[in-house]
Chain A
Amino acid sequence: MIGRRTLFGAATASVAFGTMLRQQVAEAATMGAAGDFSPRGADGRLQRLASLDLESQQDFTLGFRLMHGKKIRAMSMNAFDRVLASKGVDPATPLSLEDVLALVENEPTINIATKAWLANQQVTWKTLQDHFHANEDFYMSEMEAADKAGPGSLELNPTMNIPDYARHEIHIQPGGYVGDPFAGHIYHYGTNSFYISVIGHNEQDQIHKATAARFPIPEDGKVKRILDMGCGVGQMTVALKERFPDAEVWGIDVGGPMVRYAHMRSRRLGVGANFAQRLNEDSKFPDNHFDLVVSYIVHHELPADITRKVIAEAHRVTRPGGVYYPLDFNSGGVRSPAHGMYGRWWDHRWNNEVWSFEYHNMDFTAEIAKRFSMVKNAKAALPGFGVRHAIKA
């Protein structure tokens, strides 16, 4: 895990950060009349949530998530094993999803884990969404003030045809990535607890910064242009710009509210990254334009046919010798024990990971290898995830 000292070790960064915070406070003061609360400042890179109660509600749902992972999930797995044993099924036996569901679908002792997790997830989202909507004027003013300001740039495409595949409420986030004006705000704060309960702290972008630092670069060392496909709220885009301050760095995403928030946040951090509302499969960039093209946990949220189109688009915009590294989960032929199969299913069905089964059933690495040269024995940019270090010939 990356400590805060690592993040703020450089004295120059601290000075710049202090200047930036003063600027934020001044900006907030000019807009203070818009909201019925006083901004509570920042904790490092993260703007503190605007009310103590909202912060505490998120603290609870994080705590519940941690307890769920330690206790309720274990209880559910034990119950799962008992059900299998009562039916005379060896838990190590490969079972189809249909077999698993037939065995466990009416078992409250198993399903309470799913139900409780989902209820907690709903509270996480609802409390955030309620707050941002209740203080709509303040937050809209913040974004409007940032839209045309630098550093960096923002391109919004309100007439863009948003494909249906991108309209789903992934992770049951209300409105998903495209349907709520505060989708970026909601996603950013909601996912902080995802990270803590699964990988580690990320409130200061620790995971993104560490991952950005591990992304490989072209052999010739030239990194002048970088593309982050499906950038979401821009945490990886910003981390890449911080690693390569002289490079032109772009983040694109289908969600207008996502890139809008990403730009506002990047600007707050004093980072000159560029954001655009565009499709990954139709990025509008010239051929052979980028030295490094990445994505961060995007493809499991895309249909398989779109993933293939995105790989083709990445190949088109990567320059010869350039690196493509789409970071995502392992996929293709990964076998799970019965309980793992069940877990994957309910995450897909009820946490609304609509496209995750398509992703897991596809060999993502093999799809990339159809167009790029794969680097053998490459290092993981994020341990535990798939290693896909690809080079355009």
Chain B
Amino acid sequence: MAAPESNRPTFATDAIPSDVKSGVFLGNSILDNVVSCLIAMGTELWSTKRRLKVIEAVMAKNGVTNDMIEKYVPSDAEKAEWEKDRDRFIDLTLGPMSNEGIRDMAAGFPKRG
């Protein structure tokens, strides 16, 4: 990772890496990883929201005002499409809250049939 893939002099040398990724702070490495994921997710979400703010600002300077956006009435087709996408988004991001954790990892397959 240290040196870009080129023959140009970089004036960099080998570093002694930190072991921060192997640290377990919450008693369970999965919990630690979830926290890392949440913060990364927040970073991406905020980047998207901030880009929207910029887009709205640019649009406003070009005649599309925030008021026009606020008062926009979607067509029935748009509504249906957006609701479908909303439900997909919620299912993806928050659906796992409904997982029933009733089996430990060593459990065998449940009886079938």
Alpha-carbon separation in the docked complex, A169 to B12 (Å): 13
> CB-CB < 8 A to B64: which residues of A?
none
Partner of A61, one of B12, B43, B50: B43
CB distance from B34 to the nearest CB of A (A): 10
A158 and B11 within 8 A (CB): yes
What are 11 A-B residue pairs whose CB atoms fall within 8 Å in the complex? A52-B50, A61-B43, A116-B35, A122-B21, A123-B43, A133-B1, A136-B4, A176-B15, A181-B4, A181-B12, A256-B13
Could you tell me if A108 and B4 are in contact, using CB atoms closer than 8 angstroms? no
Beta-carbon contact of B18 and A172 below 8 Å: yes
Which residues of A268-302 have CB atoms within 8 Å of chain B's CB atoms? Answer: 277
Q: Is B8 close to A, CB under 8 A? A: yes
With A123-B40, A156-B11, A178-B15 already in contact, 15 other A-B pairs whose C-beta atoms are closer than 8 Å: A60-B42, A61-B43, A111-B26, A122-B20, A129-B1, A158-B9, A158-B11, A167-B13, A167-B15, A169-B16, A174-B15, A175-B2, A179-B13, A180-B1, A352-B20
Q: Is B17 an interface residue, CB under 8 A from the partner?
A: yes
Cβ of A57 under 8 Å from chain B: yes
Shortest C-beta distance, A157 to chain B (Å), equals 8
State whether A115 touches B32 (Cβ < 8 A): yes
CA distance A140 to B13 in the complex (A): 16
Tell me the smallest distance from the CB of B42 to a CB of chain A, in Å.
Answer: 6
B72 is an interface residue with CB less than 8 A from chain A: no
Greatest chain B CB density within 10 A among A60, A120, A350 is at: A60
- Chain A residue at smallest Cβ distance from B8: A140
4 A-B pairs with least C-beta separation: A179-B15, A256-B11, A181-B10, A115-B25
**B25 partner residues in chain A, CB cutoff 8 A:** 108, 111-112, 114-115, 118
Bound state CA distance, A140 and B4, in angstroms?
10
* Neighbouring A residues of B15 by C-beta, 8 Å: 167-169, 174-176, 178-180
| Nearest-neighbor residue (CB-CB) of A164 within chain B | B16
Size bin of chain A's contact surface: 35 or more
B11-A59 in contact (CB<8A): no
- B5, B20, B23, B43 — which one has the most chain A CB atoms within 10 A of its CB? B43
CB of B27 closer than 8 Å to a CB of A: yes
- Closest-by-CB residue of A relative to B28 is A108
A30 interfacial contact with B, CB 8 Å: no
Give B contacts to A, CB under 8 Å.
1-6, 8-18, 20-21, 23, 25-27, 31-32, 35-36, 39-40, 42-44, 46-47, 50-51, 54
Chain A CB within 10 Å — which of B8, B10, B46 has the most? Answer: B10
Binding site for B on A (CB under 8 A): 52-53, 56-57, 59-61, 63-64, 106, 108, 111-112, 114-116, 118-120, 122-123, 127, 129, 133, 136-137, 140, 144, 156, 158, 162, 164, 167-169, 172, 174-176, 178-181, 183, 256-257, 260, 277, 350, 352
CB-CB under 8 A from A127, the residues of chain B are 43
Closest-CB distance, A141 to chain B (whole angstroms): 9
A313 to B40, CA, bound (A): 44
Q: Which residues of B contact A106 (CB under 8 A)?
A: 27
Check A169/B17 contact, CB under 8 A, given A52-B54, A123-B40. Answer: yes
From B4, B15, B39, residue with most partner A Cβ within 10 Å: B15
Which residues on the B side are within 8 Å of A63 (C-beta)? Answer: 46
Neighbouring B residues of A60 by C-beta, 8 Å: 42-43, 46-47
Roughly how many angstroms separate A183 CA and B15 CA in the complex, as a whole number? Answer: 11
A257 in complex: contacting residue of B8, B12, B39, CB < 8 Å? B12
Which residues of the other chain, B, contact A123 by a CB distance below 8 angstroms?
39-40, 43
B42 touches A169 (CB 8 A): no
Q: In the bound complex, do residue A260 and residue B27 qualify as a contact, i.e. CB atoms below 8 Å apart?
A: no
A57 to chain B: which residues have CB within 8 Å?
43-44, 46-47
**Residues of A with C-beta under 8 A to B35:** 112, 115-116, 119
Cβ-defined partner of B46 (8 Å) among A59, A183, A350: A59
Q: Is the CB of A257 within 8 A of B47?
A: no
What residues on B are CB-neighbors of A179 within 8 Å?
Answer: 2, 12-15
Question: How distant is A364 from chain B, measured CB to nearest CB, in Å?
Answer: 24
B20 touches A118 (CB 8 A): yes
A180 / chain B contacts, CB cutoff of 8 Å: 1-2, 12, 15
Inter-chain contacts of B32 with A (CB < 8 A):
115
